[in-house]
Structure 1
Amino acid sequence: MSVTVRATTLDGVKLIEPPTRFEDFRGEYVETYNEDLYRAAGITETFIQDDISVSHRHVLRGIHGDDSTAKLVSCLAGRFYLVVVNWNPDSPQYRQWESFTLSDRNRLQVLIPPRFGNGHVVLSDTAIFHYKQTTSYDRGRQFTVLWNDPTVAIDWPVPAPILSRRDRGLA
């Protein structure tokens, strides 16, 4: 068994196929993380916290990140459109973004380094967004990039998403 890791257009962001996926008449088994296999594939981050968010169709969460946290993002149920934005002003790719559609069918994962923000909009009736992270959650350290920031110009598949006060720039 091995983990398939592919580079993306953003330096440090990786698209990952988990090591084990088995499906038969009973359902599906997926190994979403195996430290030894991921390390052998070059994923050396030490993850210390797992979180999920459950959202409904057209809910957009993010774009959030911080200077020290790496995240391994996957979709446990449903389907969402994930956007990753380079928010490192020292990078030649500053403000560049890339998108991925993650689902419970493709089981893809995205590794997001520190200084990158991520946001997602739900495309199915409900979706469960899962992420492992390398630091404990601390909202006070986070930055927020508005989903419709014209300097980033993200092409979202939902023109009028459902947003929190924070993600509308109000909190």
Structure 2
Amino acid sequence: MKCNQSAIPDVLVFEPVVHHDERGFFKEVLRESSFNQFLSLYGQPSQSLVQENLSQSKRHVLRGLHFQSQQPQGKLVSVVHGEVFDVAVDIRPHSETYGQWVGHILSNQNHQQVWIPPGFAHGFLVLSESADVLYKCSSYYMAGDQQGILWSDPTLAIDWPLAKGQSPILSVQDVTQPLFRGE
């Protein structure tokens, strides 16, 4: 497995070794010891991934930007089927990259995974006909703790890959998220 830092150094991009043959492919999705070695190498604490979620969405669905404030979740995000533009926004007030975002194309073709540490808002836009997004979390989901930021916040200026005039498909919740209140 390879691991590289993104433009925001705490957001890591993992590239597993993929073994292809005439039958298809095989890859090791997670080996917690290797995962934690990379976190340590980049100055992050070890994580236990305690919850796994799978979402399926159709083209142009945008989910996010979501986070938990009382019990922040780190997320190891991958795409089982399809392609998404995955975004992480640093909302850690004392971070050097506070208020900055980074985006990556994740797909079942490139096999990449993105580690989004606790203290980030997360969202993604589906680029393919549909996408199945799998994410492993470092803490449990708490319904009353989920918060969000408006996907189109002008302060963040996320460059979502939408065609000119194209609007994403949003949940009622995501349409009404508040603006980012960075200093």
Specify if TM > 0.5.
Answer: yes
1:1-171 to structure 2, matched below 5 A, reads 3-18=1-16, 20-42=17-39, 44-67=46-69, 68-158=72-162, 159-169=166-176
Partners of 2:75 and 2:160 in 1: CA distance: 21
Partners of 2:109 and 2:148 in 1: CA distance: 30
The one-character-per-residue Cα deviations of 1:99-124 (angstroms, maximum 9, x if unpaired) are: 10000010001101111011001011
Which AA in structure 1 matches 2:34? L
State the shift of 1:93 in Å.
1.6
The one-character-per-residue Cα deviations of 1:30-88 (angstroms, maximum 9, x if unpaired) are: 21101222233336210001001000000000011124211100011100000110112
User: Tell me, what secondary structure is at the counterpart of 2:78?
Assistant: strand
Which AA in structure 1 matches 2:170? L
Partners of 1:8 and 1:143 in 2: CA distance: 24
Count, aligned residues: 168
User: Tell me, what secondary structure is at the counterpart of 2:151?
Assistant: coil
Identity %: 38
Higher mean C-alpha deviation, range 77-86 or range 134-143: 134-143
Q: CA RMSD in A?
A: 1.6
Partners of 1:74 and 1:100 in 2: CA distance: 11
Gaps of 5+ in 1: none
User: Tell me, what secondary structure is at the counterpart of 2:33?
Assistant: helix
Which AA in structure 1 matches 2:49? F
